[in-house]
Amino acid sequence: MVARLRVSTSGSAARSDDYGDGVATAGRLLTSGGPGLVPTWTAPVVGVVPVAQTLFVDAVNAPAVPTGTLGAPFQTIQQAVNQAVANAWTQVEIFVAPATYADAVAIPVALEDVIISGWAAPGTFLGTILGGDITYTSLPAGWANLHLRNLLVTAANITVADPLTQDLYIELDHCDCAAAISAFNFDVALWQTNQTGNATAGGALSVEFDGYSWARHVQSTPAFTGAGSYARHFFDAGQDVLPTTATINGVAIGTTAFLDIATPLVLVDDHVSTRVVDPAARDFIIGGHCCTAGQATIWLTNLSRVSTNFADDIELLIHHNGMQQE
């Protein structure tokens, strides 16, 4: 059988007779089988050309021959990473459909900037779960840049290939992340994110918090540590309240004593103020004096307590410096 086209003598539309092998289906293309062979009806190739260095991943609906486009997504994130490298890209945004992605992801040095976004509206994970560890290879004298958005991250680790030499900038935007994150010099930006995993830098650690992320940080208290410096920057009011007891003995009436209180989240430039829980206790006054790393110092003046001993419940309001205006 052969395929032929009938061309109308009026108008501009060509019409076809279905003379190819197989059942003709609307939307399919009549494709040559080669010289002297009968043509067949085949599906068109969908979305061969990527859009603006963007690739798509869908573990549930990936076809047998994926191209990384919306119509033919890859099955794994690693496939998308590999395609970006094959395309000689230095940057890529990978959109990931709802599913659990348990395979590990290795990002090579050729990719300087990688965005992995859950295929959902901001703040709605819709079951897009990253369960495999992510390892990023960066230049010894440069930074790797990783952005995770709209994801539930259950992976154990996000790290660089060599934590002794390689640096990482990671932004977590609308994520819930349990992974421990590590690099040498290490910048972390947390936006509307609950980061419950630890963050460890072999060199300097710098963290940016918005108000929601800081509140979550205070609740879950992961260990954020840097072998070198540790700097925090707040893009909102960075505050928390610490209930404690002002316990000190032998403060004579009319004298003042200082009391050191361990507060793990406090740094040297922070501010502290105090509140007495029992408003009837008016035989002393207290106030904030200074902060050092891991410690707030308050003062207590005995106005009239004859026993000279104190074990009074108080609250510390701690304001963390580093507010940024943007």
The tens digit of pLDDT for each residue in 275-299 reads 999 989 999 999 999 999 899 999 9
Q: Which of 234, 250, 266 is a domain's end point?
A: 234
- 326 part of a folded domain: no
Domain residues for 30? Answer: 4-42
Domain match, 75 and 148 both: yes
| Cβ-contact 120, 95 below 8 angstroms | no
- 96 part of a folded domain: yes
Domain match, 160 and 86 both: yes
| Cβ-contact 59, 101 below 8 angstroms | yes
Q: Which two tokens stand for residue 206?
A: 């710098």
What local confidence, expressed as pLDDT, does residue 326 receive? 38
To 10 degrees, the CA torsion angle through 246, 247, 249, 252?
A: 0
Domain match, 251 and 166 both: no
Q: Which two tokens stand for residue 180?
A: 């421990």
pLDDT tens for each residue of 216-238: 998 999 999 999 989 988 887 77
- 47 part of a folded domain: no
The DSSP bridge partners found for residue 14 are 7
What local confidence, expressed as pLDDT, does residue 5 receive? 47
- 94 part of a folded domain: yes
In sequence order, what are the residues at sequence separation of 6 or more whose Cβ sits closer than 8 angstroms to the Cβ of residue 251?
A: 257, 284, 300, 301, 302, 305, 308, 309, 310
Buried b vs exposed e over 31-63: b needs ≥16 C-beta within 10 Å?
eeeeeeeebebeeeeeeeebeeebbbbbbeebe
Within 13 A of 228's CA, how many CA atoms are on the CB side?
13
Q: Measured on CA atoms in the order 23, 25, 30, 31, is the torsion positive or negative?
A: negative
| Cβ-contact 185, 193 below 8 angstroms | no
Q: Which of 118-122, 261-265, 306-310 has the lowest mean pLDDT?
A: 118-122
Q: Which two tokens stand for residue 54?
A: 């963007």
Q: Which of 198, 218, 234 is a domain's end point?
A: 234
pLDDT tens for each residue of 97-147: 999 999 999 999 999 999 999 987 655 556 899 999 999 998 776 789 999
What local confidence, expressed as pLDDT, does residue 236 receive? 79
User: Minimal CA–CA distance to 164: which of 231, 227, 232, 229?
Assistant: 227
What local confidence, expressed as pLDDT, does residue 143 receive? 87
- 63 part of a folded domain: yes
Tokens 């290795």 correspond to: 106
What local confidence, expressed as pLDDT, does residue 28 receive? 61
Domain match, 195 and 77 both: yes
Domain match, 122 and 99 both: yes
What's the structural domain count of the chain? 3
Q: Which of 107-111, 118-122, 168-172, 200-204 has the lowest mean pLDDT?
A: 118-122
Domain match, 74 and 12 both: no
Domain match, 26 and 124 both: no
Within 10 angstroms of residue 87's Cβ, the number of other Cβ atoms is: 12
Average per-residue pLDDT for the chain: 86
Q: Which of 175, 208, 234 is a domain's end point?
A: 234
Its pTM stands at 0.69
Domain match, 158 and 263 both: no
